[in-house]
Amino acid sequence: MRRRPSRPSPRQRLAAWAAAALLALGCSVALPAGTAHAVPVDITCLTGSRNTVYTPPLTYTPGPTSLQITDHFSCASLLSGVSSGSGSYTVNLPSTSCLASVQSPLSSNTATYHWNNGTSSTISFASSTAVRAANGTVTVTSIGAVTSGLGLGQTVTRVTVEPNLNLTACLTGGLSETNSVLNTLIIAPV
């Protein structure tokens, strides 16, 4: 006598259907891509120059001004092949003057530097301090991070020293331009 195959119970059929549905759902769900990790770079620019144009020119009366900044760097990097770079950007200050002062924190600013190897780094400087000495020399220290491009996610330190070589400019028509004697930029892994 042949045995008749047993039929699954309604509970077994429901469990099999649920397992099949979960399996089908699991196969159709896209898994998130692995987290992208930036390739570490080591860009050290210890030699550089900066030109800053003030519009309107600085006087001894505090007021708003716009700074058009152009940076050039000579660099060294073992990992990226960067040997030079440059960038221009604008910083708007709500109130500044030729008077000795400490301005901190300055509003955050962003700069994009273009490197000799065809790459670039966009850097957001979240913290900047400008110290203007009595002789008119300004030292600006900025800390930030690379937000896109070469060195993504890495920390950045930039230090610039710009003397006022025209000591009577603030009294006459205003100080319209300065050039740095020191301009450094370091991009390093976190």
Q: Which two tokens stand for residue 182?
A: 């020191």
**130, 100 contact by CB (below 8 A):** no
Q: Which of 29, 114, 17 is nearest to 9 (CA)?
A: 17
pLDDT at res. 32: 36
* Tens of pLDDT, residues 134-184: 999 999 999 999 999 999 999 999 999 999 999 899 999 999 999 999 999
**Which H or E element spans position 16?**
helix 10-28
pLDDT tens for 49-63 read 999 999 999 999 999
Element (H, E) at 145: strand 138-149
**pLDDT-based confidence at residue 107 (cuts at 50, 70, 90):** confident
Tokens read off for 96: 């500044």
Computed over every residue of the chain, the mean pLDDT equals: 83
Position 179 scores a pLDDT of: 96
Rounded to 5 degrees, what angle do the CA atoms 18, 23, 29 make? Answer: 125
For the record, the structure tokens of 152 come out as: 């993504």
Can you tell me the mean pLDDT for 26-53? 67
User: Which residues face 52 on adjacent strands?
Assistant: 69, 178
**Cα torsion for 77, 80, 81, 84, to the nearest 10°?**
-70
Where do the domains of the chain lie? 43-188
